[in-house]
Amino acid sequence: MFEKFSRSWGLVKASATVLRSDKELMLFPMISAIATLLVLVSFAVPVIGWRVFENGFGASGVVWGFLFYFCQYTVIIFFNSALVGAAMIRLDGGDPSLRDGFNIAKDRIVPILGYAAIAATVGIALKWLKDQDNVLVRLIGSGAGVAWTLATFMVVPVLVSHDVGPVVALKKSASLLKRTWGENAIGTVGIGMVFGLASFGVILLGGLLAFVAFQLSIWLGGVVVVLAILALMALGVVQAALSGVYSAALYQFATHGETPVGFEALNLESAFAPK
């Protein structure tokens, strides 16, 4: 367990080194967060105004749900493709700009839309499974969600690097994961664990400070709450950027057999350890 945590922490530090050498990479998830928020608002207003779900999750609800997932996934995948594309340029020794990343994503917009449609369909299905009253069905939904996450880990790097469609990219992603690292995504879990703990610390500390601040002034308490929210958003942006750099580095290693600069000591062959 200690070895796994140590490797994960080393991964975070190595990815952070790449980010420090090119801080522009963090702008991609930052813009993505703003765009996804705008999509959420644009859907929430008509859904609430037209009372789409007033009579339950019917046919119209399925349509609205699919459209929402499709738009959200399109935005997320597009900006993630831009991030991964720019990160690959950096890992190859280049100096990418925002335009470089966006140009890479724009060139792959058709397969991105196709993958977003597939992801939206899977997302709707997984949500339906997890919302069932049957405990066994919910467990199946949770397990399927984990399997989907693992199988799609390399999809964006594949889409960015090759002129292939979303189905081929999915197959390639699953093949790379299975052949090279097995099924246990230690590195990804490590990043999630580190930032999960950091987020919990922000929530705990922010809650305590807000409680004290509200005793002194409502305005002061509001400021503390806003600062805590901004801190959580900042952690989310950095985590997304780190994950993008990590996926780019692992893909580069898997396809070229060479460990990217800054990742030599991490033993990437074991980053996905078989069970």
pLDDT digit string (tens) for 103-128? 999 999 999 999 999 999 998 888 88
CA 136 to chain centre: 27
pLDDT at 233 over 80: yes
The lowest-confidence range among 29-43, 137-151, 161-175 is: 137-151
> In this model, does residue 264 exceed pLDDT 70?
no
| Stretch 143-163: mean pLDDT | 88
Residues 227 and 248: their CA atoms lie apart, in Å, by 32
At residue 9 the predicted structure's pLDDT band, cuts being 50, 70 and 90, is: low
Q: How far apart are CA 273 and CA 275, in angstroms?
A: 6
In contact, 228 and 210? CB cutoff 8 Å: yes
Identify the three-state secondary structure at position 57: coil
The phi and psi torsions of 153 (rounded to 5 degrees) equal -60, -35
Stretch (H or E) spanning 273: strand 272-273
Distance between CA atoms of 22 and 98, rounded to whole angstroms? 11
More confident residue, 191 or 24: 24
Q: What are residue 253's DSSP bridge partners?
A: none
Report the alpha-carbon distance of residue 5 to residue 110 in Å, rounded.
39
CA distance 192 to 91: 22
DSSP 129-187: HHTSS-HHHHHHHHHHHHHHHHHTTTHHHHHHHSS--HHHHHHHHHHHIIIIITTEEHH
pLDDT of amino acid 158 = 93
**Tokens, residue 75:** 């935005």
272 by DSSP, 3-state: which? strand
Start-to-end C-alpha separation, the chain: 13
Task: Return the minimum-mean-pLDDT range out of 28-42, 112-126, 209-223, 245-259.
Answer: 245-259
pLDDT of residue 2: 59
Could you give phi then psi for residue 260, rounded to 5 degrees? -60, 155
- Lowest model confidence (mean pLDDT) among 26-40, 70-84, 159-173, 239-253: 239-253
Task: Please report which confidence band the pLDDT of residue 92 belongs to, taking 50, 70 and 90 as the band edges.
Answer: confident
**What percent of the chain is modeled with pLDDT above 70?**
80
Q: Is the sign of the CA dihedral 232, 238, 240, 243 positive or negative?
A: negative
The whole-number average pLDDT for the span 152-175 is 90
Least confident of 8-22, 128-142, 199-213, 235-249: 8-22
Number of domains in the chain: 1
pTM exceeds 0.75? yes
What does the pLDDT read at residue 214?
93
Q: How far does CA 25 lie from the centroid of its chain?
A: 14
Q: What is the largest CA-CA distance in the chain?
A: 60
Q: What is the mean pLDDT of the segment spanning 192-217?
A: 92
pLDDT at 253: 75
Segment among 80-94, 121-135, 180-194 with least mean pLDDT: 180-194
Question: In whole numbers, what is the pLDDT of the chain averaged over residues?
Answer: 83
Domain extent at residue 209: 2-273
pLDDT tens by residue, 21-71: 788 899 999 999 999 999 988 888 776 766 656 665 566 667 877 888 899
Reference 84, options 182, 160, 3, 178; nearest CA is 160
C-alpha angle 248/251/257, rounded to 5°? Answer: 125
